[in-house]
Amino acid sequence: MKTIKLLAIAAAMLATSSCSTVPLTGRSRLSLVSETEMQSAAASSYAALLKDPSTKVLNNADAQRVKRVGQKIQAAVTKYMNANGYSSQIQGFNWEFNLIDSKEINAWCMPGGKVAVYSGILPVTKDDAGLATVMGHEIAHAIAQHSSERASQAALAEAGGGIIGAATGGKSQSAQQMINQAYGIGAQGFVLLPNSRKQELEADNLGLTFMSMAGYNPEAAVSFWQRMAAASQGSQKPPEFLSTHPADATRIAQIQRLLPEAKKYYNSTTGKPVK
């Protein structure tokens, strides 16, 4: 039992000592997984996706619009990070912006600035400001290093599972299964899913600022997410507490609360709020 306690203490010390700070929000995030490794893996995966025969990368007017909006947000992000002492966190970023032919209503950004927008989301974005809302949000995930944080949380949860397994080694098989199942449900419901929803709301926060700095009115984010909510009506969604994403109403309400602060960065040329 003493060994179990030492392992638990070591895991807790590792979790508290391996942290970094998210730009803008100031939140302390878990950093057990190297961001450099995440960026390297993302670059390989992104290149493989673009070369895949089943992937149709578009090179039309919409694709050029994706690149233009993305590059404006990239410039805004760079100004903000440099102006606020976070320049080291975007070292190694090799930005790419591509439009992929797909009916899926989706977009994403991998670590290192590898962005993909699916053509299926363009009818919902409608205009450049709507597109900036989406791309600002997805780029914010990379800037906040959410992928490495999720990998770190998963690694810590796995370590916790190992501690639980060691602690229950002397119990019956059925008892072990019950305890392990309870641990898995608890880790998912009380740690991993809430943190995922927190990351989504944090990406909305950062994304608002980045799109504002890039010259896009952050008020457009409200109408975009309202359109997204309408587009998903009729689809089966789990309750918010069982979802990786916040409810549409939760997300829109937060954006409305954050608008006054985001507007301070509207058309900022310095990475600082416009006075």
Mean pLDDT of 49-62: 98
Mean pLDDT lowest for which of 3-7, 64-68, 176-180? 3-7
Q: How many residues are given for the chain?
A: 275
Tell me: the pLDDT tens digits for 121-168? 999 999 999 999 999 999 999 999 999 898 877 766 665 555 555 555
Whole-model pTM?
0.81
- Is the predicted pLDDT of residue 192 greater than 90, yes or no? no
192 exposed, middle or buried (CB, 10 Å; 0-12, 13-18, 19+)? middle
Handedness of CA 207, 210, 224, 226 (dihedral sign): positive
- 255: which 2 tokens? 């954006």
pLDDT at 232: 80
Give the C-alpha separation, 258 to 29, whole Å. 21
Q: What are phi and psi of 145, to 5 degrees?
A: 55, 45
Instruction: Please count the other Cβ atoms lying within 10 Å of the Cβ belonging to residue 180.
Output: 14
Q: Which residue has the higher pLDDT, 111 or 174?
A: 111
Q: Indicate the pLDDT class of residue 170, thresholds 50, 70 and 90.
A: low
Give the C-alpha separation, 203 to 138, whole Å. 7
Residues 6+ apart with CB under 8 A from 8: 163
Give the C-alpha separation, 29 to 102, whole Å. 33
Residues 6+ apart with CB under 8 A from 203: 137, 138, 140, 141, 144, 146
pLDDT at 183: 43
pLDDT at 177: 58
- 71: which 2 tokens? 């590059």
Residue type, 15: A
Mean pLDDT of 215-232: 95
Residue with tokens 């906040």: 144
Asked if 89 and 81 count as a contact pair (C-beta separation under 8 A), the reply is yes
